[in-house]
Amino acid sequence: MKKRGIVTLVVIFGGLFLGLMVFIGVLVAAFSPDGFGGPGDRIGVVEVDGTIMDSKKVIENLRRFEKDDSVRAVVVRVNSPGGAVAPSQEIYSAVRRLKEHKPVVVSMGTVAASGGYYIACGADTIFANPGTITGSIGVITQFFNIEGLVERIDLEVHTVASGDFKDAGSPFKPFAPEDEAVFRAMVQDVHRQFVEDVADCRGMGIDEASEIADGRIFTGRQAYSMDLVDQLGSLQDAIEYLADEVGLEDPPVVYPPEDRMGIIGELFRVAVNTTATEAQEQAAPRVLYQYMGPR
């Protein structure tokens, strides 16, 4: 009897364990991007959303899809007014690298201006909605002067600098003409880089690109008429265009997996990012590929 009871317990717990494993497998299959059918051939979508202050995550996602043979082509969905110069240039370079391995299309959302447009230039084909806000090909940096406020609260600021221009742009001193000359030369050089890349990617001469690179914004339809975008259409139109390009019929669409940190980790991440963003907002000077208008 004892032996039979032990066997019965083993069978019961073995069955429960097997059932649990099957249940976990079903959940994993149901909630994974590949579903139940395995990877197959897919279209990848990488999102560039919000102000561009860092490129790391976007580049990681582009690289992930570059290495994934089941992802036959990639849509880069841009919904951004632009942002810092270097991250915009880094993502642009990553998009150009990716298109050497598989077709890449950019789909513009509500706004894809300045640094957002810079990124779009790296793709094979650019889609914009007719009402998308785009363009704003230009560079901006801003400085604040709080001398009056400092005097009002009777606060003294003592600066020791290693050179005449080390504190150029400081909010505690007047913005002198020689300071402006230094920053204007820098802005013009960064702007020239933008114009050169637009001209190269869009098949324009430098002079032609310079004429429209005065910071003005365009609707998607205006940009289309000026050859700044290739097609008018939505994200779905871009996906269908790519599917046709690689010979797929109604392929599944996959997004990069999101990091799962748990609720404590997520709260910590939000707190850190909020603090970092606030610090970046207060730092000066900043040179931006960014549309500063309403959005």
* pLDDT at residue 283 tops 70: no
pLDDT digits (tens, 9 = 90+) for 201-241: 999 999 999 999 999 999 999 999 999 999 999 999 999 99
C-alpha distances (whole Å) from 257 to each of 33, 44, 246 are 8, 11, 23
How do beta strands 104-113 and 125-128 pair?
parallel
Residue 61 to residue 80: CA distance in whole angstroms = 17
Q: Where are the alpha helices (DSSP H) in the chain?
A: 2-31, 56-67, 85-98, 115-120, 147-152, 177-202, 206-211, 220-225, 235-245, 262-282
* pLDDT at residue 279 tops 50: no
Give 275's pLDDT tier (boundaries 50, 70, 90): low
pLDDT digits (tens, 9 = 90+) for 91-129: 999 999 999 999 999 999 999 999 999 999 999 999 999
The residue to which tokens 């990069």 are assigned: 256
Residue 192 to residue 195: CA distance in whole angstroms = 5
Q: What's the predicted TM-score (pTM) here?
A: 0.76
Chain mean position to CA 240: 22
Residue 204 contacts by C-beta under 8 Å, 6 or more apart in sequence? Answer: 198, 227
> Residue 40: its pLDDT value, please?
75
DSSP per-residue codes, 179-205: HHHHHHHHHHHHHHHHHHHHHHHHT--
DSSP per-residue codes, 207-264: HHHHHT-SS-EEEHHHHHHTTS-SEE--HHHHHHHHHHHTT-SS--EE-PPPP--HHH
Q: Look up 114 and say whether it is catalytic.
A: yes
How do beta strands 42-49 and 71-80 pair?
parallel
Q: Look up 107 and say whether it is catalytic.
A: no
Token pair of 123 as six digits: 């793709």
> Residue 156: its pLDDT value, please?
74
| CB 246 within 8 Å of CB 73 | yes
Give 31's pLDDT tier (boundaries 50, 70, 90): very low
| Residue of 166, 173, 210, 234 with catalytic role | 166
> Comparing 86-95, 105-114, 175-184, which segment has the lowest mean pLDDT?
175-184
The residue to which tokens 């059918």 are assigned: 37
| Residue of 55, 80, 107, 114 with catalytic role | 114
The residue to which tokens 């299309």 are assigned: 105
Residue 81 to residue 88: CA distance in whole angstroms = 11
Topology adopted by domain 38-290: 2-enoyl-CoA Hydratase; Chain A, domain 1 (3.90.226)
* pLDDT at residue 33 tops 90: no
Domain residue limits, the chain: 38-290
Residue 172 contacts by C-beta under 8 Å, 6 or more apart in sequence? Answer: 146, 147, 150, 157, 159
C-alpha distances (whole Å) from 265 to each of 49, 60, 76, 269, 271 are 22, 20, 28, 6, 10
Residue 154 contacts by C-beta under 8 Å, 6 or more apart in sequence? Answer: none
Residue 30 contacts by C-beta under 8 Å, 6 or more apart in sequence? Answer: 36
For residue 252, is the peptide bond before it cis, meaning its omega torsion is within 30 degrees of 0?
A: no
Q: b/e string for 151-168 if b means 16 or more Cβ within 10 A?
A: eeeeeeeeeeeeeeeeeb
